[in-house]
């Protein structure tokens, strides 16, 4: 039987290298990885304006406490406004500001450069097989 443990090492290295390049690429914005991930997820939900904190937490798969901390930092940096829901004062809604969209564009450029480097000189059929295998690995981990 083949030993595929190197897959985990490679995934770890890719993750670490991606994080390092992201940190270097957007270092002047002083956002942490959690805030960048929150920005990426808010962009996915941008058509659901206003975006509820509950929807964001569900989409990201993390608790509302972590979401609250990330949102507070994004608000302090002027990327979003956090407003109380009109119907339920305990609920918070997120409004995206123009600076948010500008930041998303910068993050997207950095990610695109990383992605181009990552897949350079790899055939499309190999990428499709890799994508299928990685999706299954993700599903396997979510089932636990």
Domain 5-142, architecture per CATH: Orthogonal Bundle (1.10)
Give the separation between CA 112 and CA 134, rounded to whole angstroms: 19
Please tell me the predicted confidence (pLDDT) of residue 144. 60
Tell whether pTM > 0.75. no
Question: In whole angstroms, what is the distance from residue 37 CA to residue 41 CA?
Answer: 6
- Confidence at 24, pLDDT banded by 50, 70, 90: confident
Domain segments of the chain as ranges = 5-142
CA-to-CA distance for 96 and 93, rounded, in angstroms? 10
Mean pLDDT of 106-132: 93
d(CA 54, CA 67): 9
* Average pLDDT across the chain, whole number: 86
Taking only Cα atoms into account, the Rg of the chain, rounded to an integer number of angstroms, comes to: 18
């Amino acid at each position: 039987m083949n030993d595929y443990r190197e897959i985990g090492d490679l995934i770890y290295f890719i993750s670490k290298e991606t994080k390092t390049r992201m940190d270097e690429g957007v270092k002047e914005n002083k956002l942490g990885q959690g805030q960048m991930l929150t920005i990426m997820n808010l962009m996915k939900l941008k058509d659901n304006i206003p975006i509820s904190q509950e929807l964001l937490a569900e989409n990201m798969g993390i608790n509302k406490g972590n979401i609250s901390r990330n949102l507070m930092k994004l608000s302090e940096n002027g990327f979003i406004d956090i407003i109380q829901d009109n119907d339920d004062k305990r609920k918070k809604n997120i409004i995206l500001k123009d600076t948010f969209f500008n930041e998303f564009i910068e993050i997207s450029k950095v990610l695109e450069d990383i992605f181009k480097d990552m897949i350079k000189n790899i055939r499309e059929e190999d990428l499709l097989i890799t994508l299928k295998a990685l999706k299954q690995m993700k599903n396997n981990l979510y089932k636990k």
